[in-house]
Structure 1
Amino acid sequence: MGKIESFSNRTFQKVYKKGKSYGNKLLIMYYVENNLNCNRLGITVSKKNGNSVVRHRVKRLIKESYRINAKKFIAGYDIIFIARVGIESSSFSQVESAVKHLMKKNNLVKK
């Protein structure tokens, strides 16, 4: 598995405007089809979550949770995960569970 694809500011705006959104206790997820054969991932963590060290740790947790399970997900989507306040005190297993829950809730998991 290679590098996780990210996308531009313009694509972020497109996903926010045209995408569907769902959330759980730790994350909010926006997604829209991208007509590619891969998923592109964007992660947003607010300054309300803590200083830059904490925010970067949260981003790494979300990115790794996605990467480990990426083969289970249907390709062809632009996905944005927004971290809710409170995620900074969560463990890796809780974040991974939240990512898998949102992907399953949106029918983006392969059968």
Structure 2
Amino acid sequence: MKNFPSLKSNTDFQRVYKNGKSYANKALVMYVYENALTYNRIGISVSKKNGNSVVRHTFVRKLREIFRLNKIEKKGLDIIVVVRVGADVKDYHKLESAYLHLLKSHRLDKEDVEENK
């Protein structure tokens, strides 16, 4: 099994929080910061206020799969996704549409990348 490209250390998270650009919608907040790597990394933050460990880990698994399936053309990004408290995103498709909306806000979706070429 391959390692998933994720942010793990607190210093990585703090760097993205302090220096990254953020956009939000009702369900998620997304921070994006450029790194010096040749691949993208994702960090997912879910508060205990969202539910117990089973609920929080379900959010994490869904967001990892959404990140994996919706490849970002631009490389070298650190991305943090924060699930907002009380967000009605139990449904996978609602969570995916919120994620894609934030990618579009950051101009990282496929259509915006093709326009910039």
Aligned-CA RMSD value: 1.5
Q: CA deviation at 1:75?
A: 1.4
Residues 37 and 89 of structure 1, relative CA distance in 2, 3 Å threshold: closer
CA distance in 1, matches of 2:10, 2:67: 21
Report matched runs for 1:1-111 at 5 Å: 3-7=3-7, 8-70=9-71, 72-87=72-87, 89-109=89-109, 110-111=113-114
CA distance in 1, matches of 2:87, 2:63: 10
Tell whether the 8 Å contact from 2:27 to 2:89 is kept in structure 1 after alignment. Answer: no
Q: CA deviation at 1:17?
A: 0.7
CA distance in 1, matches of 2:88, 2:52: 10
Tell whether the 8 Å contact from 2:27 to 2:95 is kept in structure 1 after alignment. Answer: yes
Q: CA deviation at 1:89?
A: 4.8
Pair member with larger Rg: 2
Tell whether the 8 Å contact from 2:35 to 2:78 is kept in structure 1 after alignment. Answer: yes
Return 5+ residue gaps in structure 2 as ranges.
Answer: none
Tell whether the 8 Å contact from 1:43 to 1:59 is kept in structure 2 after alignment. Answer: yes
Residue type of the partner of 2:59? Answer: V
**Stretch of structure 1 that moved more, 72-81 or 56-65:** 72-81
TM-score by length of 1: 0.89
Q: Tell me the number of residue pairs that the alignment of Structure 1 and Structure 2 aligns.
A: 109
Residues 73 and 25 of structure 1, relative CA distance in 2, 3 Å threshold: farther
Q: CA deviation at 1:3?
A: 4.1
CA distance in 2, matches of 1:6, 1:81: 11
Tell whether the 8 Å contact from 1:48 to 1:85 is kept in structure 2 after alignment. Answer: yes
SS in 1 for 2:12: helix
- TM superposition outliers: structure 1 runs of 4+ over 3 Å: none
1:1-35 per-residue CA deviation (whole Å, 9 max, x = no partner) reads x6431122111010011111110111000110002
